[in-house]
Amino acid sequence: MGMTLDQLRIFLAAADHMNFTRAAEALYMTQSSVSAAIHNLEDRYDMKLFNRIGRHIEITEAGRLLQVEAQKILGQVTLTERGLGELSALRRGELHLGASRTVGNYWLPPKISRFKQQYPGIQIYCTLGNTKEISAGIANRKFDLGFVEGEIEPTICKVLELETVGSDHLIIVVGKHHPWYKSAMISASELLTTTWIMREQGSGTRSMFERALGRWGIACDQLKIALEMSSGEMVKSVVENGESATAISKLMVKKELRLKTLYEVPIYRLARPVKISRCFFKIRHRQCFQTRSSHAFSENFVDQPKPSDVSSQR
């Protein structure tokens, strides 16, 4: 008999923990059962998956190869099991979503809420991260669907399907203590004269702003960056109470603009106003089995009705 799914699960636990005892505890098994399963795999294929060094283990080259393939196999098994479990008119099942923070906090929640009203038996798990993290999660089959607003790395983009499902604007805002507050016009070149609070590298907001600066003849490293932060909410709070500027999604600051705690700075270049527009993308793995719940979520709550909205990132 060839390798079994149970052996693969035991092997992955050992590879994750790099310790047979901790792997056994995680699987509620005895340490001897874990050791036996690994030994049987090594015996059958006549190669070492781990090197034993005293009480420690190190994964071998063959082990690393098996780790990658085992993750793919067990991921596909999990999706297939979920797909079979959803065949009863979506009365039960799971939906795993990944979203970049702006999309996940401001654009996606009402869609999830409507989906839950129609399919209360589907459990939804939504993970937030930056665009780089979410696209990597889709490529690694961690999520059924991803929703991002930033540029995706070309190496990952090859295994993904992208579809435009929404849009947004980045705006430049300042708080009441900033000299630009209530300014009628700021030229693009004046962006170099203030300090900036920026999102972290890898975020969709950061990459979109950097591309806009490039179109205006400004390199990001020319800006006076005071802070980099991984949360738009933190950026917003610092700018509200300080003397720096930031580029941020207009979705995030609707309330602050209405309350006048933040001010949208009009930016002009060559005597014309400039805007920073961006798309929201739905992403999924090209080869991954699509569960009924993810298909229903896409078709009924996310996708735009016109086929012309489907786009690929260039």
Per-residue three-class SS string for 97-161: EEEEHHHHHHHCHHHHHHHHHHCCCEEEEEEEECHHHHHHHHHCCCCCEEEECCCCCHHHHCCEE
Give, rounded to a whole angstrom, the gap between the first and last alpha carbons of the chain.
Answer: 48
Q: Rounded mean pLDDT of the chain?
A: 88
**pTM (predicted TM-score):** 0.63
Q: Architecture of 5-74 per CATH?
A: Orthogonal Bundle (1.10)
The structural domains of the chain, with segments of one domain joined by +, span 5-74, 85-167+279-309, 168-278
Asked if the model's pLDDT at residue 240 lies above 60, the reply is yes
Q: Is 83 exposed, middle or buried (0-12, 13-18, 19+ CB in 10 A)?
A: middle
Looking at the domain 168-278, which fold is it?
A: D-Maltodextrin-Binding Protein; domain 2 (3.40.190)
Give the model's pLDDT for residue 86.
59
Residues 6+ apart with CB under 8 A from 277: 167, 168, 169, 170
Asked if the model's pLDDT at residue 82 lies above 60, the reply is yes
Give the model's pLDDT for residue 311.
35
Give the model's pLDDT for residue 306.
43
Are the folds of 5-74 and 168-278 the same?
Answer: no
- The CA distances from residue 131 to 228, 282, 312, in Å, are 16, 11, 16
Looking at the domain 85-167+279-309, which fold is it?
A: D-Maltodextrin-Binding Protein; domain 2 (3.40.190)
pLDDT digits (tens, 9 = 90+) for 34-72: 999 999 999 988 999 999 887 788 999 999 999 999 998
